[in-house]
Amino acid sequence: MPLLSIFLLPLLLPSSLAQKKGNLSPETHPPFQWAQCTSPTNCTTINSSLVLDANWRWVHDDKYRNCVEQNPDGTQWWNPAVCDLGDESPASTNNCTSKCLLEGAGDYRWSYGITTTNATLMQKLVTRIEFATNYGSRIFLLEKKDRYHTFVLLGNELSFEVDLSTVGCGVNAALGFVAMDADGGVERHKPWNEAGAEYGTGYCDGWCQDRQRFVGGRAATNKQGARGYQWQSDGACCPEFAVCVPGKGASTTRIGWGRRNFMGRGSWSIPQGNSRDVVTRWEEDHQYQFFIQDGKRIDVPAPTWDGLPKQSGLSKEMCDVQANVFMEQDIWAVHNGWPTHQRQVLSRPMVLVTSIDAADWYTWNTWLDSSKIPPYDDRDPGVERGPCPWEDNEPLIARASNGQAKVVWSNIRFGPIGSTVEL
């Protein structure tokens, strides 16, 4: 369900140690069209392409042994027979990095359930192929073969259509912006990363991802996998603005705000089964979202919980008090609040990311569509985030019960405020 939220060695080494490209499968980026607008009647079609995140690719050594293996609980990590990171020393990390090749994605549709047609993108949750099953995907918009397209949000708006009709409990279908390096980290992490944006490297976000196989171009260790914020200097943490999913920091979850009948399945203000336009606007002191369905504008209702401002959207007033009202850790304040948001999120180049996944092994996506796992009380502010039973969000259960889930994004438009939709 569309939601707003924000988050907040140069060494002379031989290139043989670098993160390299494989040569077995081709890397052919699916074409994709989006529009750059100056007014609702003046939008230019941009012929671009998409690239799959490196974390979903086959990673193997020169003997074609899998560098990554799947654990019994469904998680994935380094295969000790190929990459022994037991001592987590620089030598073992460098050895693993130099051994393991990032392979081309080949046929995006057949292997990963990713299909594009002109300005429409579909991502499937489950894709069954011979002898294997792929779960989810994360993809980035490219400017050219080896460089991501970047957007500056301040003073602009984004609009798109989305169909979430098959997305069930525990599935996270997301669209947003992250402050990745446009080249995928090649320049910043020399000489470690030779694959770059062409192979979808360099992902980071406000959650400080603990499932990235490579961080800063090098193999990530188990110590880093303990959800460590110390990764910031290496590239796993970076500012994020989530347009279509809530998260840490300041957010505008509809049910979390106390509005229980705005969006969802059934006879709500916006039924989940209907495709709709989502419009997000980034003003300097206020970022907000509204929807267009059947030609009608539908604004997000203001919060109802005591202590929250009676205005929809993100503002300094909202973000300064939300953690206190919800009795959560104030990540917003830790990162210097609104000034950091304006400087690090709104005013810097950001990369467009879309994804679908059900692999939140840490919180089971309960922050998205369920309630915080007991002993929290649903009657307290911010505990209830959606109608799903939290037990159903366990990743293996969510995958099994959402075999047909897919998200369809289309007609993405970007430009100055007021330029992408005609009201």
Q: Per-residue pLDDT averaged across 207-227, rounded? A: 72
pLDDT of residue 137 exceeding 80: yes
Which pLDDT does position 308 carry in this prediction?
87
Cα distances (angstroms) measured from residue 359 to each of 52, 172, 181: 17, 9, 25
For residues 359 and 362, give the distance between their C-alpha atoms in angstroms, rounded to a whole number.
9
Which pLDDT does position 181 carry in this prediction?
96
Compute the radius of gyration of the chain from its Cα atoms.
Answer: 21
pLDDT of residue 272 exceeding 60: no
Which pLDDT does position 324 carry in this prediction?
84
Which pLDDT does position 10 carry in this prediction?
35
Q: Does 423 reside within a domain? A: no
* pLDDT one-digit tens code per residue, 274-325: 567 999 999 999 999 999 988 889 898 888 888 888 888 888 988 888 888 8
User: Highest-confidence range of 187-201, 205-219, 254-268, 373-387, by mean pLDDT?
Assistant: 187-201
DSSP 143-156: EETTEE-EE--TTE
Proportion of the chain above pLDDT 70, given as a percent: 84
Which pLDDT does position 293 carry in this prediction?
83
Least confident of 46-55, 250-259, 272-281, 292-301: 250-259
Domain enclosing residue 19, as ranges: 5-416
DSSP state of 314: B
Which pLDDT does position 127 carry in this prediction?
97
More confident residue, 340 or 379: 340
Which pLDDT does position 383 carry in this prediction?
74
Q: Does 421 reside within a domain? A: no
Q: Per-residue pLDDT averaged across 252-266, rounded? A: 50
**In the predicted model, what is the mean pLDDT of the chain?**
84
Q: Per-residue pLDDT averaged across 196-218, rounded? A: 89
pLDDT category, 224, cuts 50, 70, 90?
Answer: very low
**How many structural domains does the chain have?**
1
Q: What angle do CA 236, 23, 69 make, to 5 degrees?
A: 50
Written as six digits, the tokens of 18 are 């670098």
Proportion of the chain above pLDDT 90, given as a percent: 49
DSSP 93-116: HHHHHHHPEEPP---HHHHH-EEE
Which pLDDT does position 397 carry in this prediction?
94
Count the neighbouring beta carbons within 10 Å of the beta carbon of residue 174: 21
* pLDDT one-digit tens code per residue, 8-44: 433 334 445 567 899 999 999 999 999 999 999 999 9
pLDDT of residue 219 exceeding 80: yes
Which pLDDT does position 274 carry in this prediction?
58
Count the neighbouring beta carbons within 10 Å of the beta carbon of residue 286: 15
| CATH (domain of 157) | 2.70.100.10
Q: Per-residue pLDDT averaged across 195-207, rounded? A: 94
Which pLDDT does position 248 carry in this prediction?
40
* pLDDT one-digit tens code per residue, 320-378: 888 888 878 887 888 778 888 888 889 999 999 999 999 888 888 888 888 777 767 77
Could you tell me the pTM of the whole model? 0.89
Which pLDDT does position 258 carry in this prediction?
46
For residues 279 and 345, give the distance between their C-alpha atoms in angstroms, rounded to a whole number.
18
DSSP 347-413: SS-EEEEEEEE---TTTTTHHHHSBPPTTS-TTSTTTB--SS-GGGGSHHHHHHHTTT-EEEEEEEE
Q: Per-residue pLDDT averaged across 388-415, rounded? A: 94
pLDDT category, 149, cuts 50, 70, 90?
Answer: very high
Q: Does 374 reside within a domain? A: yes
pLDDT category, 263, cuts 50, 70, 90?
Answer: low
pLDDT of residue 256 exceeding 70: no
Selection from 15, 70, 19 nearest residue 235 by Cα: 19
For residues 326 and 307, the answer to whether their CB atoms sit within 8 Å is no
Which pLDDT does position 220 carry in this prediction?
84
pLDDT of residue 52 exceeding 90: yes
* pLDDT one-digit tens code per residue, 87-136: 778 888 888 999 999 999 999 999 999 999 999 999 999 999 888 899 99
For residues 419 and 423, give the distance between their C-alpha atoms in angstroms, rounded to a whole number.
10
What b/e readout covers 139-148, taking b as 16+ CB neighbours within 10 angstroms? bbbbeeebbb
pLDDT category, 59, cuts 50, 70, 90?
Answer: very high
Which pLDDT does position 271 carry in this prediction?
54
Q: Per-residue pLDDT averaged across 70-75, rounded? A: 73
Which pLDDT does position 381 carry in this prediction?
74
pLDDT of residue 2 exceeding 50: no
Cα distances (angstroms) measured from residue 395 to each of 175, 332, 398, 419: 20, 28, 5, 40
Residues in the chain, total: 423
Q: If you search the block for the tokens 């509204």, which residue do you land on?
A: 290
